[in-house]
Amino acid sequence: MLSMPHIRRAIAYFWAGPPDLPGSLSLEWRFVAVRWLGIMFVAPGLLLAGITAEQRLAAYIVLLVAAIYNVAVQLTMRRWPELFVSGYMTAIGDALLNIAMVGVGGGFDSPFYYLLFTVTISAAMRYGYGPAMAMVLTYVLVDGVETLRNYGWATGPFIFRSGFLFLTALLASYLRELARKAEIALQVRLRQADLLNEATAMLGASLEFEPALHSVVAAAAHLFGSHHVALLPSADLTENQKDSRVIYYDERRVPSEVTGQTEELLRQWARHASSPVPAGYHLQWEAMPSGWQALALRLSLPTRQASLATLAVVVPAGQTAPDLAPDILNSFAERTALTIENASLYRALALRSVDLQRAYGDLAIAHQELLGLDEMKTNFLANVSHELRTPLSSIRAFSELLLSYDDESVRTEFLGIINSESERLSRLVNDVLDITKIESGHMEWHMDTVDLASVLNDSARTFTTLIEKQNLTFHQQIAEDLPLVYGDRDRLQQVVGNLLGNAVKFAPGGTVTLTAGREGDVIYVSVSDNGIGIAPEDRDRVFEKFQQVGDTLTEKPQGTGLGLAICKDIVEHHRGHIWVESQLGSGSTFTFTLPVYENEAPYRDLESGNVEPAVARA
């Protein structure tokens, strides 16, 4: 029993032919199938038709011939396809079969003749002028021979029907040609649209500038079917020399930089093509001296005044330049222009974002610095507050206690403490004011030439009483011909006083030495003691504000914690340096230097508080 799939396969074979049948023969196969259908319908129909037995026999013979013809065609079609593709074979074969049918039906004068019109139109629509004319010629030839045999000459009806048959074939063939041309045009158009789609799909793979340019070159190479495509970005897109080069799609189908003669050729062409036309595109292929053909597309956008780039396509001599429709070219130019524009915008954006990030980084650093300054200020205030509260506490407590104690010696002790703590308080206030003024640039400096030797002697004299009271040994070694310095005498005296005060404080019962001399361009002043000394880790901190260093197990130092910071500020304002050398347990030496005064000029800017560390030339 035949199953449904078998039947379906048999019908498919009957109508469409074997699966491996070439596409050019499928129409031919279908006509064979139509002939088989005709035979199958006509064969039983002949039994019912009111015709003579002779006629019926002749008709069956014709049908038999048709069947044999069909089998022959089906067998030979695949072996010699060119025989059938042209259509001549089929047209003439069909013509002979139809003549036989007409003969059976009553000859050329019978109404059966109309069958020939149908078949002629069908052949003309299938194969065009040639086979249709061949068919008509076959009819006319057989008809003519028959007419001559029957009438002896060409009759009117023969000439009339032959003429019409010829005209019909001509018209049908013409219509067929029109339809074919339209179809070919449509196919070309579809192919170009496909190409455009494929080419534009290659664009926009990347927003990065370089890969985007490469994708444009590759897309153009695909669209024009040429390896010789070059892209010349316009001047305002190119940020450096590297950007202005021609990107070229070479034989290996790899976008690369083109060099040598080809580059020069493309560059010249691109310049030539882009210069005379202010906007729009060159759509005409132009012949180049070498016999090559060249086309240039100016890639521009309505939103942009200047063009973005010029795309040069070159077809070597001997190859056909693809004839792309203008709208396809326009569309391609527009899309590539957009790709380049986007990539260039993206690049600008990326650069901008790098700038912004850098600016943000700078801002963050500045912010941190400000926070640091703010913290320093807060710490300073907290320290000042702390240092003010301590002597205030003593003053307040002992003032109150005074009332409860009648003993004169105790009251004297209390008053002594109140007095010394008040002094400490006023020292602190003065120091805070000094350092604030210096560091905010509001200090009034009374700059003049200063004899440093007299400053040192005055300071030493001030300390004589204290030195004697503390049972100290004091040495003084001041060079005789100490040159002048330029500075504020009172402030310099303050520096020396602070240093001597520190030495006396930390070297009870020891030795304090004051030394001064000249060394090259500078005068140095040293204050040494053989006191408790400063630990190495504390040496840098002694010049910082409120850093009272050391181990104060026995007696709390009575300083403000600002003395050395003020010394440093004053010395540095005079373009000097201050430092300490110390050995823990065996004493410290504080030294500062000042530039020797030679003439006034190098110091002029000191008046305005401009502290540049520079030493005057000797």
Contact set with another protein (CB under 8 A)? 382, 385-387, 389-398, 400-401, 404-405, 417, 421, 551-556
**Distance of closest approach, residue 382 Cβ to another protein, in angstroms:** 7
How far, rounded to the nearest angstrom, does the alpha carbon of residue 479 sit from its chain's CA centroid? 71
- 3-state secondary structure (DSSP) of residue 473: strand
Task: Provide φ and ψ at 564, rounded to 5°.
Answer: -70, -30
Tokens representing 542 are: 């002694």
- Identify how many contiguous H helices and E strands the chain contains and give both numbers: 15, 13
**Distance of closest approach, residue 347 Cβ to another protein, in angstroms:** 51
The rounded distance, in Å, linking the Cα atoms of 436 and 383 is 13
CA dihedral 326, 328, 329, 330 (to 10 degrees): 80
Q: Which is nearer to another protein, 273 or 395 (CB)?
A: 395
The rounded distance, in Å, linking the Cα atoms of 228 and 236 is 25
Q: Which is nearer to another protein, 150 or 378 (CB)?
A: 378
- 3-state secondary structure (DSSP) of residue 471: coil
The rounded distance, in Å, linking the Cα atoms of 17 and 27 is 10
Tokens representing 391 are: 């002597």
The rounded distance, in Å, linking the Cα atoms of 514 and 456 is 8
Q: Which is nearer to another protein, 97 or 395 (CB)?
A: 395
CA dihedral 238, 241, 246, 248 (to 10 degrees): -110
Q: Which is nearer to another protein, 399 or 583 (CB)?
A: 399
Q: Which is nearer to another protein, 166 or 546 (CB)?
A: 546
Q: Find the radius of gyration of the CA atoms of the chain.
A: 58
For the chain, the distance separating the N- and C-terminal CA atoms, rounded to the nearest angstrom, is 128
Q: Which is nearer to another protein, 122 or 394 (CB)?
A: 394
Tell me the one-letter amino acid at 452.
L
**Distance of closest approach, residue 381 Cβ to another protein, in angstroms:** 10
C-alpha dist (Å) from residue 15 to 12, 21, 27, 90, 593: 5, 12, 10, 18, 116
**Distance of closest approach, residue 415 Cβ to another protein, in angstroms:** 13
Q: Which is nearer to another protein, 387 or 488 (CB)?
A: 387
**Distance of closest approach, residue 387 Cβ to another protein, in angstroms:** 8
Q: DSSP strand E in 55-181: where?
A: none
Q: Which is nearer to another protein, 421 or 488 (CB)?
A: 421
Tokens representing 477 are: 């070694």
Total residue count of the chain as it appears in this document = 618
Query: Own/partner pairs for 429-438, CB < 8 Å, 24+ apart?
Result: 429/388, 431/560, 431/562, 431/563, 431/566, 432/384, 432/560, 432/562, 434/494, 434/562, 434/566, 435/545, 435/562, 435/565, 435/566, 435/569, 438/566, 438/569, 438/570, 438/573
- Is 241 within 8 Å of 250 (Cβ atoms)? no
Q: Which is nearer to another protein, 151 or 405 (CB)?
A: 405
The rounded distance, in Å, linking the Cα atoms of 540 and 528 is 17
Q: Which is nearer to another protein, 361 or 416 (CB)?
A: 416
**Distance of closest approach, residue 538 Cβ to another protein, in angstroms:** 12
The rounded distance, in Å, linking the Cα atoms of 150 and 109 is 11
The rounded distance, in Å, linking the Cα atoms of 328 and 334 is 10
**Distance of closest approach, residue 388 Cβ to another protein, in angstroms:** 8
C-alpha dist (Å) from residue 97 to 67, 92, 144, 224, 401: 10, 9, 17, 50, 149
**Distance of closest approach, residue 585 Cβ to another protein, in angstroms:** 17
Q: Which is nearer to another protein, 249 or 414 (CB)?
A: 414
**Distance of closest approach, residue 528 Cβ to another protein, in angstroms:** 25
**Distance of closest approach, residue 472 Cβ to another protein, in angstroms:** 22
Tokens representing 150 are: 């029957």
Q: Which is nearer to another protein, 309 or 534 (CB)?
A: 534
Q: Which is nearer to another protein, 400 or 451 (CB)?
A: 400
Nearby residues of 41 by Cβ (< 8 Å), 6 or more positions away: none
**Distance of closest approach, residue 392 Cβ to another protein, in angstroms:** 4
**Distance of closest approach, residue 414 Cβ to another protein, in angstroms:** 8
**Distance of closest approach, residue 542 Cβ to another protein, in angstroms:** 15
Q: Which is nearer to another protein, 243 or 544 (CB)?
A: 544
Given 3-state DSSP classes, what are the helix, strand and coil percentages for the chain, each rounded to the nearest 5?
60, 10, 25
**Distance of closest approach, residue 404 Cβ to another protein, in angstroms:** 6
